[in-house]
Amino acid sequence: MEAPAPSEGFHTTRWSQVAAAGGDDAAARTALEALCARYGYPLYAFARRKGAGAAEAEDLVQGLFTRLIEKRELRGLAREKGRFRSFLLAALQHHWANERDREQALRRGGGALVRAVDLAGADERFAREPARELTPEQHFERAWALEVLRVATGRLAEEYRASGRAELFEALKGELEGAHVPHAEVAATLGLSPGAVKVAAHRLRERFGTTLRALVADTVASPAAVEAELGALLRALEAGNSAAAL
Amino acid sequence: MTDATPCPRCGAPRTPAESPQGLCPRCLLAESLGVEGSVVLSAVTPTEPPPTVAELAPHLPQLALEGLLARGGMGAVYRATQKNLARPVALKVLDRAIAARPGFTERFEREARALARLTHPNIVTVHEHGTSGPYTWLVMELVDGASLRHLMRQGRVAPREALAIVVQVCEALQFAHDQGVVHRDVKPENILVDRRGRVKILDFGLAKVLGRDTDSFTRTSQVLGTPHYMAPEQWERPLEVDHRADIFALGVVFYELLTGELPMGRFAPPSQKVALDVRLDGVVLRALEKEPELRYQQASEVKTDVERIRGTERGAVPEPTAGKAPAAAPTARGRRRAQEERLQARRDERESVRGRRGPVAALRSGLDELLRGVPSPVRLLIGLHMLFLILAALLALVASTGFDF
């Protein structure tokens, strides 16, 4: 379930909605479910980096989301004005500490573990990640940033595909990363005028900016924090890059 | 196992799994964040769309408006020309929601007059200000360049350039502080660097006009940009903030320039993150002292220490610095010195650019300088002669090792 793209001047975000409702509101719980489903992998990767095995990491993430969603452990969240990203990481660490204290049997005995998030393929994906000299927290932030970009570009590609403009997207997507796309060649290949290609390229960049910001807006306390969060995500990616270059 | 390949643009290694739609994640984000144009506002989502040129024009007949340059949390910036002087300028129109805040008009009038007095080569000059119809605006010097944030994102700030930038920021801050003006919002977005490498600080004192750090702070926190540059006392005792809050923010910018990271939590000294002169640690950490009393008390002191480190790095004699009182106004000698320093900064930048081009290019430009003024036929002869000498030396070396061809 996706919320409509927020328009100019929107004043609530999904996360602020969740935080404000403190888990009592059905709509807020749905919003939280959608958010959790999107950011399961970064948490999973964090747990793995912290030394958890594949099964344990999955249990931890599923367990956390179950607690958050089903058991309404969201009271007191109204005070939580920060980023969803920071909240989730803190919640996982808290949950993990609790789980360690508790008996393993108790955790497994209940059998009530709901699969709140799809982590199929997470283990394989984790194994493919290149080694980087990063802390588990930095890994988490990096994975989060990649997840945001994966969803944003995926959504945009789907939008273009659904409206029969898949070729245009493929031809122009390099614009999004600042690559030099020869408009004249694209125009010749797709049978468009150079002017139309230029306009399409501009629209694509604009559309990506909107899609990305709408996605990020869901995870921060107020729309005003979006740009700062984007900056933080960029720094997270750059930290990973400089570490990999060592 | 890694199948990472470097991005052709930023050089960052990435695997196919980390490349959404086959694109470089770093460049994707940097592109969508990058603010092109001459004036960059603090990056905050605006609350309402900016007025169009057509809407503004009837209220500002003295200006020929050319178009929107950038928009941000405070409002929007337009490129324009002052008709009577044919001077290109930047017009900043403040967001109407901001202008509607209680006490805004008086505060704006008072502060804008103080800002107009800040004439300094490293401060963006405010030419004119006023309120016309529903719009509150400032006409400013147009800077042909980019913000430090933009340059940092592009990874274009080498440590040597960072020092040259910090020195200029110190000069601007010291000048403003001597006039009794505190910036209150020093951050990379507000530090512009023009095409000649000259620093221009933007939005001096505007934070105060906007009431960001007064009791209205909590109510208006949605327009607060990134809080990472705020001194601890700015959070705790916003009404008692003095110029030392700017020195803390300068410390944050300095740390970020050197390491690419923000000094958050228990952070490591810069030299533990990157290869640097360890003496810079002392400067950065002292600017970042939590207690204002323990910090540098004057921006000029930061500048003195940075310059001493720069100077001795090049093997120059350190200047005596102790107890130098900041000048109240720039004297002729001071201006001359400032001019010399800027020239030096520019020379430094050229040097660092040369350094980045690699050893072959550096050797070539070194040779070019050596042979400057020598006619090209003679150059050719010298070149052939050197080539011959090198070949002869190589042959002699091979012969002496007794290697049998």
Contact A149 B225 (CB under 8 A): no
Annotate B173-193 with b (16+ C-beta within 10 A) or e (fewer): bbbbbbbebbbbbbbbbbbbb
The yes-or-no verdict on residue B81 having pLDDT over 90 is yes
Return residues 130-189 of A near B (CB < 8 Å): 130-131, 145-146, 149-150, 152-154, 156-157, 173-174, 176-179
Which of B7, B21, B222 comes nearest A224 by C-beta?
Answer: B222
Measured between beta carbons, the chain B residues lying within 8 angstroms of A237 are 12, 25-26, 29
| Best CA proximity match to B132, nearest among B185, B200, B210, B58 | B58
Angle at B192 between CA B56 and CA B142, to 5 degrees: 35
Instruction: Give me the residue label for tokens 């004249």.
Output: A184
The yes-or-no verdict on residue A224 having pLDDT over 80 is no
CA dist., res. B193 & res. B199, Å (int)? 5
Which two three-digit tokens encode residue B132? 């016309």
What is the complex's ipTM, to 2 decimals? 0.78
Which of A208, A213, A242 comes nearest B260 by C-beta?
Answer: A242
Work out how many CB contacts closer than 8 A connect A with B: 123
Instruction: List pLDDT tens digits, range A136-165.
Output: 888 899 999 999 999 999 999 999 999 999
Candidate ranges A21-35, A98-112, B240-254; pick with highest mean pLDDT: B240-254
Q: In the predicted model, what is the mean pLDDT of residues B258-287?
A: 88
Q: Which DSSP category does A117 fall into? A: S
Instruction: List pLDDT tens digits, range A159-215.
Output: 999 999 999 999 999 989 877 788 889 999 999 998 899 889 988 988 998 899 888
Residue A23's pLDDT band (cuts 50, 70, 90): low
Q: In the predicted model, what is the mean pLDDT of residues B293-303?
A: 95
pLDDT number for residue A212: 92
The yes-or-no verdict on residue B128 having pLDDT over 60 is yes
Q: Which DSSP category does B244 fall into? A: H
Candidate ranges B25-34, B52-61, B363-372; pick with highest mean pLDDT: B52-61
Q: In the predicted model, what is the mean pLDDT of residues B73-91?
A: 86
Which is higher by pLDDT, A72 or A170? A170
CA dist., res. B288 & res. B294, Å (int)? 9
* CA-based nearest residue in chain B for residue A143: B18
B153 to chain A nearest CA, in Å?
9
pLDDT number for residue B268: 86
Instruction: List pLDDT tens digits, range B13-50.
Output: 778 888 899 998 888 888 887 532 222 223 333 446 77
Q: In the predicted model, what is the mean pLDDT of residues A106-129?
A: 65
Q: At A212, which helix (H) or strand (E)?
A: helix A194-217
Q: In the predicted model, what is the mean pLDDT of residues B292-305?
A: 94
Judged on CB neighbours under 10 Å (0-12, 13-18, 19+), B288 is buried
CA dist., res. B92 & res. B90, Å (int)? 6
CA dist., res. A122 & res. A43, Å (int)? 11
Residue B225's pLDDT band (cuts 50, 70, 90): very low
| Best CA proximity match to A243, nearest among A122, A137, A171 | A137
Mean pLDDT for chain B overall:
74
CB B74 within 8 A of CB B206: yes
Q: Does A208 reach chain B within 8 Å, measured CB to CB?
A: yes
* CA-based nearest residue in chain B for residue A130: B2
Angle at B224 between CA B222 and CA B230, to 5 degrees: 145
The yes-or-no verdict on residue A39 having pLDDT over 80 is yes
CB B93 within 8 A of CB B51: yes
Measured between beta carbons, the chain A residues lying within 8 angstroms of B2 are 130-131
Q: Is A82 left (phi over 0), alpha (psi -120 to 50) or beta?
A: beta
pLDDT number for residue A44: 92
Query: How many residues does the structure list for chain B?
Result: 405
On the CB side of B233, CA atoms within 13 Å amount to 20
The yes-or-no verdict on residue B222 having pLDDT over 80 is no
Q: Is B373 helix (H, G, I), strand (E, B) or coil?
A: coil
CA dist., res. B159 & res. B161, Å (int)? 5
Measured between beta carbons, the chain B residues lying within 8 angstroms of A157 are 21
The yes-or-no verdict on residue A111 having pLDDT over 80 is no
Q: Is A93 helix (H, G, I), strand (E, B) or coil?
A: helix
CA distances from B64 to A88, B49, B61 (A): 51, 21, 7
Q: Does A209 reach chain B within 8 Å, measured CB to CB?
A: yes
CA dist., res. A202 & res. A206, Å (int)? 6
Q: At CB < 8 A and 24+ separation, what contacts does B65-69 make?
A: B65/B91, B69/B37, B69/B38, B69/B39
A40 to chain B nearest CA, in Å?
16
Q: Is B155 left (phi over 0), alpha (psi -120 to 50) or beta?
A: left
Q: Is the dihedral of CA A50, A52, A53, A56 positive or negative?
A: negative
Q: Which DSSP category does A220 fall into? A: S
B87 to chain A nearest CA, in Å?
31
Check if B185 is active-site: yes
* CA-based nearest residue in chain A for residue B32: A209
* CA-based nearest residue in chain A for residue B27: A177
Position A125, amino acid: R
A111 to chain B nearest CA, in Å?
34
Which two three-digit tokens encode residue B386? 């050197």
pLDDT number for residue A112: 44
CA dist., res. A47 & res. A56, Å (int)? 8
CA dist., res. A183 & res. A190, Å (int)? 10
- Choose, from B185, B203, B305, B348, the residue flagged as catalytic: B185
pTM: 0.45
Task: Enumerate the H helices of B179-224 as residue ranges.
Answer: 206-209
Mean pLDDT for chain A overall:
77
Which two three-digit tokens encode residue B118? 């800040």
The yes-or-no verdict on residue B357 having pLDDT over 70 is no
Q: Is the dihedral of CA B170, B172, B177, B178 positive or negative?
A: positive
Contact A129 B261 (CB under 8 A): no
A69 to chain B nearest CA, in Å?
28
Q: In the predicted model, what is the mean pLDDT of residues B210-217?
A: 42
* CA-based nearest residue in chain A for residue B41: A227
The yes-or-no verdict on residue B221 having pLDDT over 50 is no
- Rounded to a whole number of angstroms, the CA Rg of chain B reads 25
The yes-or-no verdict on residue B203 having pLDDT over 70 is yes
- Rounded to a whole number of angstroms, the CA Rg of chain A reads 20
Contact B26 A238 (CB under 8 A): yes
Contact B32 A227 (CB under 8 A): no
Q: Which DSSP category does B19 fall into? A: S
Task: Enumerate the H helices of A121-162 as residue ranges.
Answer: 122-128, 136-162
Task: Enumerate the H helices of B158-278 as residue ranges.
Answer: 159-178, 206-209, 232-236, 244-259, 270-273
Query: How many residues does the structure list for chain A?
Result: 246
pLDDT number for residue B153: 80
Residue A10's pLDDT band (cuts 50, 70, 90): very low
Residue B342's pLDDT band (cuts 50, 70, 90): low
The yes-or-no verdict on residue B327 having pLDDT over 60 is no
| Best CA proximity match to A85, nearest among A171, A147, A163, A130 | A147
Position B223, amino acid: V
Q: How many CB atoms neighbour CB B116 within 10 A?
A: 14
Q: In the predicted model, what is the mean pLDDT of residues A43-53?
A: 89
Share of chain B above pLDDT 90, in %: 24
Q: In the predicted model, what is the mean pLDDT of residues B243-252?
A: 93
Chain A contact probe: residue of B14, B24, B32 with most A CBs at under 10 A: B32
Contact A227 B44 (CB under 8 A): yes
Measured between beta carbons, the chain B residues lying within 8 angstroms of A222 are 222
pLDDT number for residue B373: 55
B45 to chain A nearest CA, in Å?
5
| Best CA proximity match to B113, nearest among B208, B187, B199, B39 | B208
pLDDT number for residue B134: 84
Candidate ranges A64-68, A92-96, B278-282; pick with highest mean pLDDT: B278-282
Which two three-digit tokens encode residue A113? 């573990």
Return residues 55-84 of A near B (CB < 8 Å): none
The yes-or-no verdict on residue B296 having pLDDT over 90 is yes
Q: In the predicted model, what is the mean pLDDT of residues B50-69?
A: 89
Instruction: List pLDDT tens digits, range B135-194.
Output: 889 899 998 888 898 888 877 688 889 999 999 999 999 999 998 888 888 989 889 998
The yes-or-no verdict on residue B223 having pLDDT over 60 is no
Measured between beta carbons, the chain A residues lying within 8 angstroms of B49 are 8
B84 to chain A nearest CA, in Å?
36
CA dist., res. B251 & res. A47, Å (int)? 35
* CA-based nearest residue in chain A for residue B1: A130
Backbone dihedral angles phi then psi of residue A186, each to the nearest 5 degrees: -60, -45
CA distances from A34 to A30, A219, B159, B295, B382 (A): 6, 11, 44, 47, 73
The yes-or-no verdict on residue B348 having pLDDT over 80 is no
Q: Is B124 helix (H, G, I), strand (E, B) or coil?
A: coil
Which of A131, A153, A233 comes nearest B23 by C-beta?
Answer: A153
pLDDT number for residue B320: 38
Beta-carbon contacts of residue B203 (< 8 Å; ≥ 6 apart): B42, B74, B124, B183, B185, B190
Q: Is A170 helix (H, G, I), strand (E, B) or coil?
A: helix
pLDDT number for residue B185: 83
Q: At A31, which helix (H) or strand (E)?
A: helix A26-38
